[in-house]
Amino acid sequence: MADVIEIPTTNGPVEALLARPDDDPHPGVLFFMNAAGLRPALQQMADRIASSGYVVLVPNVLYRHGRAAEVTPRVDMSTEDGRKALFDKAGPAMRALTPGLFADDLPAYLDALRDNGAAPGPVGVTGYCFGAQLAIRAACLDQNVKAAAGFHGGNLATEEPDSPHLGLPNARAEFVFGHADDDPSMPPEQVTRLGEALTAAGLRHTNEVYDGTRHGYTMPDSPIYDENASERHFKLLQDLFARTLH
């Protein structure tokens, strides 16, 4: 069962979930949350990744806007009103997390992994929804990140000057992406642009669209959850980390 810890930073404490299989050193994995924030569903997912032999840290990346319960209040995600209430609250905080602010935070997250039992050596990252943007940025900022994955990510390869994909020439990771089939935040042209950028950067990668899925398909507490697609994503993660972190 994932524990809740606090990470000290110059901007204040960051709540985080920490999952590990035992007290021995294991490769570290940063898990970047989706808009619904720290909650039992992410504990469940972090525990599953950790069970394969990893120290997994899930930080509340929106900490500048409040504690996890304040930034991402618990709502009924099966209703339109519930989803609207969540994004009305979390949306401004997500938009305020600029690339520069995330770059300031990343070293503290990596230090927290080491301080909590992650072995020296390569690190993996995985992100969901807007967290997939952070997974890309982490790999572009720190070349010790050797594995990066993003699932049902949004706005990963836009035409904006700070689009996440533009940093890929700086990365040294293998990338795995599983895009939702029905996702206005990641239309086909962005999927193509992302794949072209990965190829141009000479990075080993998988860049796939999962047929019949919607944005959020990995989240077990979401009405959009797709068990088959979620199991596929766990298998890809397991294989990616086995290839790159050992």
Residue 68 has pLDDT above 90, yes or no: no
Q: Which domain holds residue 218?
A: 3-244
Give the chain's radius of gyration (CA, Å): 16
Element (H, E) at 178: strand 174-182
pLDDT at 193: 98
- Residue (of 147, 124, 118, 125) closest to 18 by Cα position: 118
User: Is the Cβ–Cβ distance between 20 and 118 less than 8 Å?
Assistant: no
**Looking at the 3D structure of the chain, how many domains does it have?**
1
pLDDT at 72: 72
Instruction: Provide the 10 A C-beta neighbour count for residue 93.
Output: 19
Q: What residues contact residue 213 under an 8 Å CB cut-off, 6+ apart? A: 152, 180, 181, 182, 226, 229
CATH of the domain at 84: 3.40.50.1820
According to DSSP, the residues that pair with 4 across neighbouring strands are 17
* Across 192-206, average pLDDT: 98
| Residue showing tokens 């469940």 | 44
pLDDT (tens digit per residue) in 83-92: 676 777 777 8
For the stretch 103-144, pLDDT in tens is 999 999 999 999 999 999 999 999 999 999 999 999 999 999
pLDDT in tens, 177-188: 999 998 999 999
Q: Does residue 171 have a pLDDT over 80? A: yes
